[in-house]
Structure 1
């Protein structure tokens, strides 16, 4: 799914987009804004790499972080909902994961949690890309986030 087609779908629905990114560090917003004319449907991107930033900028609850950890669907949902609530966007996508190197048996390298918030609610999912390397995990996460946006806007 291309960023341009996501933008076209957002235009057709009259919806602004926001992103909330941890492991991708702004790459989703960058992919969207690389397309000329994207300013009519991209509102903003939040890069919240630290837990403190997730709390301060997006309203992720400390209790959620403590109970589930930053790489969790619970945090991804709160990130997406927070981005939507703190922007002019009608849809927000969030990503938090372990790009690598490293990880643990419980949260392995390549595990990425996604959140999506729009008028119909907030949902999440986890994708295990595997230990394919930091750059590939991050790019795969961008690609998946664009597919999630396209599906929700479709």
Structure 2
């Protein structure tokens, strides 16, 4: 499904979308707002690159960050839920990961955690290991995957 089709389907169903982004730095919101007229289906995007921003803008708990780290399904879930809570959206997608270069043995480059929150439903989370695609490659792959999650949610 193209970005235009995602927005059209959201429009048809009366749904509004929000994004909560860390490693993609607003790329998902940019793809959605590249489409003229997207404001009737896209509510807002949160770029929460630092842990402080995740806490201040989305309400991610300090305890969650301390226990699991920013790159975790737990934080992705809280980011998506926080985006719903702090917006007029019905669906929110979140992304947090290691774009690179680098990473660690426990959190390698290319590990990205996603959250998908919808009003009245449990938050879905998943982790994708994109591998060492390079910073831009991981960011592009993460953006594409987040858009796929939104496509499934509005379908």
Per the normalisation by structure 1, the TM-score is 0.98
Q: 1:65-117 CA distances to partner (integer Å, 9 max, x unpaired)?
A: 00000000000000000000100000000000000000011000000000000
**Partner Cα separation in structure 2 for residue 2 and residue 20 of structure 1:** 20
> Could you tell me how far 1:2 is from its partner in structure 2?
2.0
* Residue of structure 2 equivalent to 1:75: 75
* Residue of structure 2 equivalent to 1:111: 111
Q: Which runs of 4+ in 1 moved over 3 A?
A: none
- How many aligned residue pairs are there? 154
* Residue of structure 1 equivalent to 2:59: 59
SS in 1 for 2:43: strand
The RMSD of aligned alpha carbons is: 0.6
Unaligned runs of 5+ in 1: none
**Partner Cα separation in structure 2 for residue 50 and residue 68 of structure 1:** 15
SS in 1 for 2:143: helix
SS in 2 for 1:92: strand
* Residue of structure 2 equivalent to 1:148: 149
**Partner Cα separation in structure 1 for residue 9 and residue 123 of structure 2:** 19
* Residue of structure 2 equivalent to 1:8: 8
**Partner Cα separation in structure 2 for residue 6 and residue 65 of structure 1:** 32
Per the normalisation by structure 2, the TM-score is 0.98
Choose 112-121 or 72-81, whichever is displaced more. Answer: 112-121
SS in 1 for 2:60: coil
> Could you tell me how far 1:118 is from its partner in structure 2?
0.1
SS in 2 for 1:28: helix
